[in-house]
Amino acid sequence: MTADLFEGVLDVGPARQKIADGATLLRGFAKAFEHDLMPALHAIIAQAPFRHMHTPGGHQMSVAMTNCGSLGWVTDRSGYRYDAIDPEIGKPWPAMPAVFLLLAREAAARAGFAGFAPDACLINRYEPGARMSLHQDRDERDFDQPIVSVSLGLSAVFLFGGPKRADKPQRYRLQHGDVVVWGGPSRLFFHGVAPLADGEHALLGRQRINLTFRRAR
């Protein structure tokens, strides 16, 4: 029996697509967590509302953000950083719900990164027209830890490039429940999101929400 065939026999669970060395797209992986995930998400947003942050250059981002976990990613005039305190509220970010941790850990493990224990979850809200330009996730301490990205609501075109900004990105349509994990050789690859097309999602309405789990410290 060839290795491929053997893997096919044992490979239970949602489809797994390699998109680069160290990067995996897990179609529909988050759907099994939906029942607990959605109320947990709404509770976080009620405690730490979405806000449009500013880049160090002074531009307001089209994506609205909030965080949960012991650290949250923030950007303002002084730069990008992880902070334990929500600057809008002056209090710690909401704790990371158990279902978030479980989803992130299981997705990472399925993509080949066992033992992932995120301490930060950035929550991005895209309304029609919102986009995220190509960037690297490099504010974390340990690049041996992967990034786990969960897509909810309206679908979007995810751009996944290479180690250089000029590398032409591949385009992937991400739908509700899809998860992308990148680490190892592609941990610092440029990525972004094309402007969100208008639409209506049965659970989330006129928006896309993305959860990105990171090990910041």
Among 137, 178, 207, 211, binds Fe ion (CB under 5 A): 137
Phi and psi angles of residue 201, each rounded to the nearest 5 degrees, phi first: -105, 140
Residue 155 and residue 197: Cα distance in Å, rounded? 8
Determine, following the binding rule CB under 6 A, whether residue 212 of this chain makes contact with ligand SIN.
yes
List the x/- string, 22-51, binding to Fe ion by CB under 5 A: ------------------------------
Shortest Cβ 25–Fe ion spacing (Å): 15
Determine, following the binding rule CB under 6 A, whether residue 193 of this chain makes contact with ligand SIN.
yes
DSSP H stretches of helix in the chain: 3-10, 34-47, 98-110
Among 105, 191, 214, 215, binds ligand SIN (CB under 6 A): 191
Token pair 């680069």 is at which residue? 20
Comparing CA positions, the residue from 143, 68, 146 lying closest to residue 109 is: 146
Shortest Cβ 67–ligand SIN spacing (Å): 11
According to DSSP, the residues that pair with 85 across neighbouring strands are 92
Which among ligand SIN, Fe ion, none contacts residue 159 (Cβ within 5 to 8 A by kind)?
A: none
| 64-123 positions binding ligand SIN, by CB under 6 A | 122
Residues 139-164: b if buried by 16+ CB within 10 A, e if exposed: ebeeeebbbbbbbbbbbbbbbbbbee
Determine, following the binding rule CB under 6 A, whether residue 149 of this chain makes contact with ligand SIN.
yes
Q: Which residues contact Fe ion (rule: CB under 5 A)? A: 137
Q: Which residues contact ligand SIN (rule: CB under 6 A)? A: 122, 124, 132, 149, 158, 191, 193, 210, 212
